[in-house]
Structures are given as C-alpha cells and as structure tokens.
Structure 1
Amino acid sequence: LSAVQTVPALRSFSIPECVSEEGSKGATQIPCPPQDLSRWDKLFIMLEDYQMKQDMLLQQNEDMVKAEMDSIRRELHKHNNNNVCVQASENTCKCISEHMNRNLNQAMDQLREAADMYQAHNNETLQQLIQYSRNQATHLTMAMKSFSTYPKEQEASNADGGKLERALMATVADLQRVHAQLALFQRATAHRFLPSGCEMALLFPMRSKHIFVEVTPSMSMSLQSFTICLWAKVTQSLNKTVLFSYGTKKNPQELQLLLARNSLLLTVGGETHLVEAHSVVTDGQWGHFCAAWSSEQGLATLWVNGENAAKVPGVAEGHVLPGNGFILLGQERSRSGIYRDMDSSVAFTGKMTGVNMWNHMLDAGRIKEYADQDGYCDSRGNVIGWGVSEIIPHGGAQYIN
C-alpha cells in the first residue's frame, strides 16, 4: 500500500507548467511543447478517464431519474387538476402510485448496476497498476543507476528531472520494502505450517546419535501385518536416514522406514527384504509417507502423499514380527543396545508429526484421507496413536507447535 500511495507524487513532475511571455502565470500563455507520455502518465490518464466516465454515467442516471420524477409529477398534477383522483375509485390512485414506485425502483436498479460495473472495472485497473509497479521495480532500480551517472551540470539544468528521479527512487525503495515483507511473511508461514491440522510436531534440530525419540506402543509388536503412516519434513536426506525403526536384541533392524536421498525404503525382517520407491522425497518439504505389509502373501506397499509409490509381493512372507522390541523415531538401535553406540550418520534432521501405526493393512481410501494436508489430526492408530501413545524425545529432540 505504501508503494501505491507514493505513485501519485510522480504525476506532478511529468507535466510542466505553461507560463506567459512575462515569465509568470497569466492570461496569455505560451503553448506547452508536446512531450512523450511515460507509462506512469498513461496509467494515470487511464484512471482519470475511468473517473470521468463514472461521473458521466452517474450524472446520466441522475438526469434520467429526475426526468422520470418530473414526468410522474406532471401526470399527477394533471390528474389532480381534472379531479380524477377525487372522482375515480381508490384503486386508480393506487395504480398510479405503484407505477411511480416501479419506475423509481427500475431507475435505482440501473444506477446500482452501473455503479457495480464501474467498481469492478476500477478494481481491475487498480490491480493492473499494482502489478505493473511490481514488475517495473527491477527496471526502475536499473534506471536509477543510469540516472546517477549523468553529469551534475545536466541535473542542475533539469530540476524536474531531479525531482522525478528522487520520486522514482522512493517508489523503488517502497516496492523493495513491500517485497521483503511479503517474502518474510511467506517464510514465517511455511516455517509454522503443520499439515493435516496437527497442533504439535517433533523437531530434530541436528544430526546426532544423542537426538532421537522413543515410542511405547499401545499393544504388542508381535504382528503379522501393519501400516505405518507419518508426516515428515527432512532437512537433508543422506544415503540412509531413519524415519521409523523397530529393533530387538536379536535383530536391531527388524523393521525400518527409511529415506535414501530422494527415495523411500521399507525393510521387514532385515535389509534383505527391501521395498523402494524412487524419486518421491524432496528435502525441505512436508511429505506424507505410509508403509504397509502383510505376512500372508508378503505383500508390501509404499505410499507417498496418498499415492501408491511401490508394491512388491513376497516380502518376508510368513514372517511374524517378534515382540518386546524398541521403537525409535529418527534413529536406529545399535547392535550393542547401548545408546552411545548409535550412528549419527543415519540420524534424521527436520520435523515429524502425525505418527500412527495399525495392526492391519489400511485400504487406499483411508491412506488418501490421512494424506490430506487440510484434513484432521484425530485419526490415530491402535498400535501407535499420535497424541495418545507415549512418545518421549531424547537429547535435543523436542515438541514444537
């Protein structure tokens, strides 16, 4: 708005005043030499034309209403002189009154319609002016640099040019300030945004073996099928970045949901049973990731943002997840079982929210529903439920909102 408010000052510098032969404003004036209109002049002339058209249209409608009222008054006066309303029935006078009201309503409707048309047209013109000013910010900056190279003698000989330059520089500064504020607002909004209506998220500020989140499931992890879904925004994905890991003393990597550069991976029963979806992950952007598996046919599927990204049969067919293990987010259990022996190179950095796990395979419709960024965060798994199950941050991991 400050940029738009600054623009009217430019018009006074683009139109030179005509003076008399004596050097002052008088009755006899020397005609102004023709000048090329700038883009700013054309825009303001266009706005003035629209204002003039509006005034003419309003005046025309006002004249039309006055003429109609005068005609009705003459008609009523004629009837009164002839004693028509006195002699006629009450219905005749009522008919005349209704005719007058109908004409007035039609005139007012036409006036409102004309005003609405002008308002819409004026708004469109204003938007064009604002868009034009934004597009010309860079060109104005370059023009200012070229103005600054002119000799000082030329600036002294053209005072209006100097005023125009200062006004243009002020406009450029205002536009740059508005653009900077918009960019700051966009970054702040993107930083605070949490998908699916979730009010909290887990923040993993840096890659460290001491930063992870421990999850206590609501039921035994001895499962023959499951579905894991979560929202994640990874700062940077390396060759192996752990989202979700379930391990036991015998097999620390029993079940894992991983990122590898721009790929999503699932392992069941060890790294030999691997499912991978390529080119589905973008650093710095929220993504909804789901992994589903069934022991009956060994069917494993990966879903990204509600779309099926991979489907592989024969993955750990007949296998049953062992119970009494440990669930970690953003890190994997070390083979020694000691936290200090964890590997910092596989740690997750970024944000995570909406972590849920079910003891069965969800159908495609449910997964698409949970992947809605404008959805609700109240759908919770029966094995792990976001906001219900015990989810404890360790190290520098923390909850944010």
Structure 2
Amino acid sequence: MTEFSTRQIQAGYVPGTPQNTAVPPIYQTAAYEFASLADAADLFALRAAGNLYSRNASPTQQILEERIAALEGGASAVAVASGQAAVAVTLLALVGRGGHIVAATQLYGGTVDLLQETFDDFGIPVTFVDQDDPDAWRAAIRPETRVLFAESIANPIAQVLDIRAVADIAQDAGVPLVIDNTVGTPYLVRPGEHGADFVVHSATKFLSGHGTSLGGVVVDQGTFDFGREPARWPHFTEPYARVGDFTLWDRFGSGQAFAALVKSKYVHDLGPSLSPFNAWQILQGIETLDLRVARQTATALAIARHLQAHPAVATVHHPGLEGNRWHPLAQRYLPRGGPSVFSFDLAVPLDAETQGSVARVVDSLQVIRLVANIGDARSMVNHPASMTHSHLTAEQRAAAGISLTTIRLSAGLEDPVDLIADLDRALTLV
C-alpha cells in the first residue's frame, strides 16, 4: 500500500477513465497525463490531436467549439476568454506581419479601441469606412490589406450590414471577410451563408444568456483558400518553424489550419484562455438560445414600436420598423426577426442640460437595469456616449449614428408590459 500523502493525491482516479454523463461535464484541470513521452512529443509537434494543456483548450471547451461551429455552419471554431480576445486573435492570425485591415466605422466602442489604438501600437494600420458605402470599402483596400471586418448588426444603433455586398468586395480583393455576429446570433443570421469567411462572437452575450461568464469564439467557415496566393499568407503556407518543417495549410487544410495557428500560437503565446467552468456555463446557455432570442426579439420590437409614438423620443433605431433605413436589409437577412439590442434618441436639445436629461431618464428606471452588457436575461440600458463609446471622438460617434441623447436598450426576458411601463415612467422626466 502506498503512503498517506500519495493516496491523498492519487487514490480513486485513473486518468482517461470514460464516464457516461448525459450532459457535457466540466473538465476542470490545468494539464493532462500523457500515455508516453512519444505521445507527448507528437501532441506538442502537432503530429497528433489530443489534450495538450488547458491554456490551449480543454475537453469542455472543445464541445463548446464544436457546438458553435455547428450553429454557424462552420468547419471549426476556437473559443477564448472573451469576445474582445476573439476579435484580437482572429485579426492577428489573419493579418500577419505588415498587413492592413479595413473595418466598418459602425462598431462596438471596445473594438474601435482595439483597432485604432492597440493595433496601432502593434504596427497594424486600420482604415475605417462607412459600412453602407461599397465604394468606400473598395477604395480603402491596399495591396497589403489582409482582412475586411464588420458587425452583422452594429452595436448600438442596430444598422444591418449588407453582408453579401461586402463579401463580394472581399472576394474580389482576395481577402477574407470577418463578421462579428454577437448581436445577430446564429439563430437570427448566419453570416457564412452570405459569404463571410470567419464569424466571431462575444459568447458572454446571447450565447451565454445569463450574464455570469465571459467568453468569445471564432468560427472558420472553411471557405477561404490561403493556398490560392501563398505569398500573401506565409504564416499558413510556409514551414511552421516552431513545431516542424511542414506548413499548416498542407498539414491541416481548409477549415482547420486557421484553428491550428490560433491555438498553437496566439492563444498559446498570449494566453486568453477560456476556463472550463465558463465554457460549461456557456454550453448551458446555448441550449435555450432560440427560445430566448425569439422572445427577446419580439419584446424589443414591441418596445420600439411603443417608443416610436412617444413624444419624449425623437428617433428609434430599430431595423424592424418600416421607416428605418435598414428595414429592407433586415427583411432580407433577418427573416426570424430583428435584433433585441437597439437604441433611441431622446427629444431634448443638445445643450448644457442634455446630460442631465439623459441621466434623469436612465437613473429613474426601476425594472430595466443600467449595465454595460447586452444579451442577458435582464433588460439593460446603456448611454453609449459616456460609457461603451466614450473613448471615441465626437466625429466618430456621429459617423456611427450615436448622439449625446442616444440610449441603448437590450431587451431581456421580463414581461414587455412591465418594461414599457418602466420606460413610460422614466420618460415623463424628459
């Protein structure tokens, strides 16, 4: 018999023992036991697939990746610690050294911070364009451009992107299109069906749905051919020196090479790892995604229609409304319903009292919460100009359709009657 201290660490568990759980388990471990040194060497050299170290992935995470890839109709996926991390590792992996990005002006404020400041620190230039202007997209593309980036439904004004039009521009330029589908969700729209090559999500939002766990994911649709112009994509088509003399494109091919690069380099080196527990919680949320999104979508449209007729509201930015500029695109791309995240502008003058008017409305809400999040079971508001988009200049906010009177609303699962009554009470203070 072994001694006490050995038994307290090893007794009762044999690594690799299969179980028959009905739901995905949490593999809450940092590391994995290898069958042999040869087995370990093969895993580290990417000659074999398997569990390496939880900084790269965990079995719980891998279930999450396969599930989201299936929902988006993709070939593979990589899950990371947050939506911001998903955007960062995706663009870093695609751009490589000396590359350039063309991105929509209408983006979440944190993404703009990443692109215009941190990527600038990395020496990666980014050109911002009006997402609704095809000529602007074309004019911004340079020989060194390596990716086009936009949101399917922009946060916070809910502009609907003409995904097919931008995808055609990207295809003509020979570069991939990356779409952030956080607000769209794979239930409402699957960008890959309209020409997008990569789809990213902040899984913290609708995929999770309960506001407890951070996470992000990128889905490779398997549609972009890095081998067609190998000189433009040396990180895929030249020998991957850190692990051997093979190329990722030759070894893994379409739909898998990108995931191999992201996990073995960018997640491995930078460490934005998704914890097994958070992966498990997001998996629980995904099981009710369609039910939640369908109800939130209906609630948001009911609120938008009510606000449209309210004398204290100047404009409602919801593509489900017939007078909205993006209504035709919503009918084309969102047959199951519009977004549950949208904004409205208060009918107050832009002067020294504007901030006070906005604050009185926001601070008096009782059912709807002031929270810097979206896609939660709870209904939430946000003031973009002083919160999520506060780092942008006044010109950038105007280009994105955001004013000092804009309030973003994320409709939750509460009764719409209570939410409308709460807004009506608050709007009497305008």
Which TM-score applies when normalising by structure 1? Answer: 0.21
Which has the higher Rg, Structure 1 or Structure 2? 1
Structure number having the greater strand percentage: 1
